[in-house]
Structure 1
Amino acid sequence: MDSFVGNLSLTNRALLVAILVILTRPLFLSIYNLVWHPLSPIPGRKTWAASRLPFIWALIRGKIVQEIEDMHRRYGPIVRVAPNEVAYAHPDAWNDILQAKAGHLPFPKDPTWWAPMPGVAPGLVTALDHYLHAAIRRQLSPGFSSRALTIQEGVVHQYVDLLVQRWRETIALGHGETEVDVMRWFNYLTFDILGDLAFAESFECLQRSEYHRWISLIFDNLKFNGAMISARFYPMVGSMLARLIPASLSKAQKEHAQLVVDKVRRRLENTSQRLDFMSTIQTTIQNSDRKGGKGLPLNIVHSTFAEVAIAGSETTAMALSAALNLLIHNVDKMEVLVREIRGKFRGYDEITVQAVRDMVYLNAFLNEVLRLCPPVPWMPPRRAPEGGGMVCGKWLPGGTRVSITFTSMHREPTSFQAPSSFCPERWLPEAIENPNSPFYNDKRHAFQPFTIGPHSCIGQNLAWAEMRVALAKVLWTFDVAAPKDEKKWVVWESLRTFLLIEKKPIGVVVKLRAD
């Protein structure tokens, strides 16, 4: 070997050293990550602590939520899931990461995960700058307020009633009962409501009983966007992947962007005085044009409403789908819920947002649905601020990625009794007030389905209204049951996550109520 090296020229020796460094660097970096990295004391799988690759592989396969859940169950509520990332299922993490504290803002969003795609302006979700996010939210907030919901209630009823009508028609064709795919139908419902409140025009999914082209484009892009975000950890791979984007997908992305532009333009040209999501933005832009002020730039408005179209509809549809899926496999809980709904309302038209708001078992049922089947099962990472920060009593170096998996947080054994069991009773007043209840010591503050802090879900009032009204009207009108063919049954925990949960048909047998 010595003679071989001795015969090499200086240039070739330098080249050999460079090759050896390239080949051995990953090995030495893995050893450093395992032994000397500041996060090395935190438990977790060694392969994940050594390299980012296992995390990315799980993400691409849609199994990231299940893998992190498995680690939490094995190693506890605080686990290391990558060389520079920690995942939390401890309830204190909500405040430590997402709330502002004396001296600093909430942990900033990690641009690797949150930044918009190249050439796309930031929106409400993807705005990395805290003050830009606050400015966008300030413009949107009036359209999501309690006052706005009172005005918007008629829109919710309009589309829920159309859903019920469509199911009635389907039952009539099925000679008394039929099987419906609730995943598809609830998406029709929530996208139509969203379209009306955001753009003053429905997507007409319920009218046509099919997805609008825009919605199909959104779903088609999700898996690819997850892969593109993963590639940001390896810039060379990302640039190569960008060159491999199929022409059909590039065309679809441009079509999607143009659809947003067209819908926003038509809404801004609409002179309706109805209070909806765009009202304040429209007024600000009009005043800016007249007075020479400065409203939100149009490209930010476009991005914001593209994001709202997904966040404001997909999550509620997923929650309603999970609710029906759990209902048909827990007949005892269904009987209690149906009895409460039909006992309270003599007529269908008595069901209103106000009337369902304080229904004890309905709210307990929906809380338990959101606990076991969170529509957004994983919160992409944030970063510890420059200089570091404390999370759950442990100091983290600045730049450390921190994340919360809703599924793991909501099923943490140290927070919830019977954590994987469907028990709406845990949310009833008796369970909260009676020390003899098995659920008395549940750490209910671990349950934050809409997150907390200045970045919490802006649309949670509307989401609750949609879920309560839709479920109440469906169960007042129909009897529901699981399909006889067990192959059609869906195990929620098996569904994959590609930024959002994958869509899989959920068959439910429906017929008009017997009594």
Structure 2
Amino acid sequence: MPAMTAGQVQYALPGTWEIVGICIGSYVVYVLISAVYLLFFHPLAKFPGPRWWAVSRIPWAYHVIKGDLWSVLDRLHEKYGSIVRIAPDETTTINPAAWKDIYVTKPVLAKDPYSLTPPLNGAHSLFTAEGDVHRRLRGALVNGFADKALRDQAPIVEGYANQLIARLRREADKSADGRVNIQRLYGYATFDTVTDLSFGESLLNTLESDSENDEIKAFFLHAKFSTIRNCLSRFSPLDIFLGLFLLGVTRKTRERNWRLTTEKINRRLARGDLTGVRSDLLTPLVGKLDETGGVKGTITKAELTTNQLAFVIADCQLTTVALATATYLLLRDPPKWRRLVDEIRSRFSSDAEITVQSTQGVPYLEAVINETMRFRHPTPISLPRCIPPEGRILDGQVIPGNTIIGVNLQNIQTTPTLWVQPQEFHPERFLPSSDPRYEHRFDRDVKAAFMPFSTGPRNCLGSKVYLAQARVFLAKVVWNFDLEMLENQEDWLDQEAYLVFEPKPLLVRLREPGQTTQV
């Protein structure tokens, strides 16, 4: 080997570990620079919030997967104020003005795409559609949820309410002391009702047949997987592998649901226009399917299947959680339970008088339902929207463009800045001020914050159907039974939430009014 001459310099290529060190060091520098930018120079840097949340999505994702994000956001708003930064590009607000500024003011803001579960059959539902597609779908479906349609659908709701009462009696008779899991039976009642309304017949007819099924549990499991999947979609390429895994776990259930839904809808559509015979959510759509997907006020067959299944899942979950929660809160506070009992039993002289129509405007009943929704919203989720590049004004404050902001349905309803004793159950706050049971300390409640079904062109289309079920089911239970909550359920409200709260069994003892307890 020749010797090096003067002026020659020998350069050694870096070894493998040196390359690894350089890469790691470069990445650390990148992370530090990014953190400094996000903390001090990003357009959202002016909004308060935890530092770790500002520089990474990981803290947010951790609590989504843990199922307690709603609770953590409550504490963050209490500490930092009405607008809190909860991610590098996202804020959350409990400002009542946000309802108008974010969800009503035009142009309507687009949903955050990461918060949406992609339609598995390629056809959008009202939950995922945007722009013209959303307007066309809503125009096609809205007549099924109108006041006249609900009046015509009332016999279906009332029929299943009667079946619920009969099934409760049979279940109580099987037990020596009349104990039942009323949460499970609420689930059966809402499932039978909403599938009949959506498909033209009950999917399983669980109440009348005395059968048991795990459909409700499967729906809540699907909500959990969907929430985690949407959360992980922000972490590429992890989202690809975990998304495929989560889809694999639910594949058989989803395939079965699509098959049963399609069969039921085909059978209902084949029966044609049943005006004068029965009315359901499909009645206004008979003869109005259009496979081009471009005609105003029409819907394709695939879109119809997607929307009907989505409504079944949403209504069943929301109504089951709300009824079980209302029952728990009332039984935990006997004077309030007695107040509702007195109202229902003095207003109606027979069970048959309790109908969709007759339960409208029953003050304390409606107050109980509203206060349940306020105290523990069944879906304690944020409604994230994308701010356009030019930004958006929220109550006089500029929200930077290309960021995300939303109102969490639970947080805005339980903040002490807007509500008197927000962590306590007081239906009286929702009574008319002229009602002698109303308490004027609740004059300070900011009722404008209470939008349990959201607002604007994307508000919940099925709210009236939900309220009809909630009123009739709860009123009939109260009229027919004296309820007593069994012991050791103090922690019943300690529930995880994935899109919706995961309900626990609620064990109660049923007695006919005036009957003494036999133990």
Same fold per superposition (TM over 0.5): yes
CA separation of 1:136/1:16 partners in 2, compared to 1, >3 Å: closer, same or farther? same
Task: Tell me the residue number matched to 1:511.
Answer: 511
**How far is 1:13 from its partner?**
8.5
**How far is 1:391 from its partner?**
2.0
1:307 corresponds to 2:336: no
Residues 475-514 of structure 1: CA deviation (Å, up to 9, x unaligned) = 010001110x22x34442x211112211211222211111
Q: Which moved more, 1:322-331 or 1:381-390?
A: 381-390
Task: Tell me the residue number matched to 1:141.
Answer: 142
CA separation of 1:14/1:369 partners in 2, compared to 1, >3 Å: closer, same or farther? same
CA separation of 1:137/1:193 partners in 2, compared to 1, >3 Å: closer, same or farther? same
* Equivalent-residue separation in structure 1 for 2:481 and 2:385 (angstroms): 44
Task: Tell me the residue number matched to 1:188.
Answer: 188
**How far is 1:236 from its partner?**
0.6
* Equivalent-residue separation in structure 2 for 1:417 and 1:86 (angstroms): 25
Residues 89-130 of structure 1: CA deviation (Å, up to 9, x unaligned) = 1111111111033xx2x2210111125156542111111x22
User: In structure 2, which of residues 455, 459, 467 is the aligned counterpart of residue 456 of structure 1?
Assistant: 459
Task: Tell me the residue number matched to 1:352.
Answer: 355
* Equivalent-residue separation in structure 2 for 1:418 and 1:211 (angstroms): 40
CA separation of 1:210/1:500 partners in 2, compared to 1, >3 Å: closer, same or farther? farther
Q: Secondary structure at the match of 1:402?
A: strand
User: In structure 2, which of residues 350, 375, 400 is the aligned counterpart of residue 397 of structure 1?
Assistant: 400
Task: Tell me the residue number matched to 1:280.
Answer: 284
Task: Tell me the residue number matched to 2:225.
Answer: 224
Task: Tell me the residue number matched to 2:4.
Answer: none
Q: Which moved more, 1:315-324 or 1:350-359?
A: 350-359
Give 1:80's aligned amino acid.
R
1:55 corresponds to 2:60: yes
**How far is 1:149 from its partner?**
1.0
Contact in 2 for aligned 1:482/1:489 (Cα 8 Å): no
* Equivalent-residue separation in structure 1 for 2:157 and 2:421 (angstroms): 35
CA separation of 1:183/1:213 partners in 2, compared to 1, >3 Å: closer, same or farther? closer
Task: Tell me the residue number matched to 1:265.
Answer: 266
* Equivalent-residue separation in structure 1 for 2:436 and 2:137 (angstroms): 40
Give 1:123's aligned amino acid.
S
Q: Which moved more, 1:70-79 or 1:378-387?
A: 378-387
Contact in 1 for aligned 2:119/2:125 (Cα 8 Å): no
Give 1:124's aligned amino acid.
L
Residues 3-36 of structure 1: CA deviation (Å, up to 9, x unaligned) = xx96336999988655433343333222221111
Contact in 2 for aligned 1:192/1:206 (Cα 8 Å): yes
Structure with the larger helix share: 1
1:24 corresponds to 2:26: no
* Equivalent-residue separation in structure 1 for 2:241 and 2:18 (angstroms): 30
CA separation of 1:30/1:133 partners in 2, compared to 1, >3 Å: closer, same or farther? same
In structure 2, the gaps of 5 or more residues are 1-9
Residues 439-487 of structure 1: CA deviation (Å, up to 9, x unaligned) = 112110101111111111111111111111111111010001110x22x
Give 1:513's aligned amino acid.
P
Give the 5 Å matches for 1:13-92.
Answer: 17-92=22-97
Task: Tell me the residue number matched to 1:466.
Answer: 469
* Equivalent-residue separation in structure 1 for 2:471 and 2:26 (angstroms): 60
Give the 5 Å matches for 1:195-344.
Answer: 195-203=195-203, 204-210=205-211, 212=213, 214-245=215-246, 247-273=248-274, 274-285=278-289, 295-344=298-347
The two structures, once aligned, show a CA RMSD in angstroms of 2.7
Residues 321-351 of structure 1: CA deviation (Å, up to 9, x unaligned) = 1110101001011111110110111111111
Task: Tell me the residue number matched to 2:101.
Answer: 96
**How far is 1:242 from its partner?**
3.3
Contact in 1 for aligned 2:140/2:297 (Cα 8 Å): no
Contact in 1 for aligned 2:187/2:216 (Cα 8 Å): no
Give 1:254's aligned amino acid.
E
Give 1:121's aligned amino acid.
A
Contact in 2 for aligned 1:328/1:508 (Cα 8 Å): no
Contact in 1 for aligned 2:374/2:413 (Cα 8 Å): yes
Contact in 1 for aligned 2:139/2:298 (Cα 8 Å): no
**How far is 1:435 from its partner?**
12
**How far is 1:246 from its partner?**
7.5
Q: Secondary structure at the match of 1:337?
A: helix
* Equivalent-residue separation in structure 1 for 2:496 and 2:463 (angstroms): 24
CA separation of 1:498/1:248 partners in 2, compared to 1, >3 Å: closer, same or farther? closer
**How far is 1:56 from its partner?**
0.3
**How far is 1:251 from its partner?**
2.8
Task: Tell me the residue number matched to 1:155.
Answer: 156
Q: Which moved more, 1:237-246 or 1:140-149?
A: 237-246
Q: Which moved more, 1:322-331 or 1:344-353?
A: 344-353
Residues 134-179 of structure 1: CA deviation (Å, up to 9, x unaligned) = 111111111111101111111111101011001112222334x422
CA separation of 1:418/1:20 partners in 2, compared to 1, >3 Å: closer, same or farther? same
Contact in 1 for aligned 2:382/2:409 (Cα 8 Å): yes
Q: Which moved more, 1:455-464 or 1:235-244?
A: 235-244
Contact in 1 for aligned 2:431/2:438 (Cα 8 Å): no
Residues 32-91 of structure 1: CA deviation (Å, up to 9, x unaligned) = 211111111211111111210000010011111111111111112211111111111111
1:499 corresponds to 2:499: yes
Percent identity of equivalent pairs: 30
Task: Tell me the residue number matched to 1:132.
Answer: 133
Contact in 1 for aligned 2:91/2:406 (Cα 8 Å): yes
CA separation of 1:95/1:61 partners in 2, compared to 1, >3 Å: closer, same or farther? same
Q: Which moved more, 1:452-461 or 1:352-361?
A: 352-361
Contact in 1 for aligned 2:429/2:438 (Cα 8 Å): no
* Equivalent-residue separation in structure 2 for 1:489 and 1:371 (angstroms): 20
Give 2:411's aligned amino acid.
S
* Equivalent-residue separation in structure 1 for 2:110 and 2:69 (angstroms): 22
Q: Secondary structure at the match of 2:45?
A: coil
Contact in 2 for aligned 1:191/1:313 (Cα 8 Å): yes
Q: Which moved more, 1:497-506 or 1:325-334?
A: 497-506
Give 2:178's aligned amino acid.
T
CA separation of 1:270/1:330 partners in 2, compared to 1, >3 Å: closer, same or farther? same
* Equivalent-residue separation in structure 2 for 1:293 and 1:39 (angstroms): 40
**How far is 1:373 from its partner?**
1.2
Task: Tell me the residue number matched to 2:3.
Answer: none
Q: Which moved more, 1:81-90 or 1:206-215?
A: 206-215
Q: Secondary structure at the match of 1:277?
A: coil
**How far is 1:192 from its partner?**
0.7
Contact in 2 for aligned 1:194/1:309 (Cα 8 Å): yes
* Equivalent-residue separation in structure 1 for 2:283 and 2:364 (angstroms): 35
Q: Secondary structure at the match of 2:441?
A: coil
Q: Secondary structure at the match of 1:458?
A: coil
Give the 5 Å matches for 1:383-462.
Answer: 383-430=386-433, 437-462=440-465
* Equivalent-residue separation in structure 2 for 1:133 and 1:288 (angstroms): 16
**How far is 1:266 from its partner?**
2.4
Contact in 1 for aligned 2:179/2:507 (Cα 8 Å): yes
Q: Secondary structure at the match of 1:513?
A: coil
* Equivalent-residue separation in structure 2 for 1:512 and 1:432 (angstroms): 30
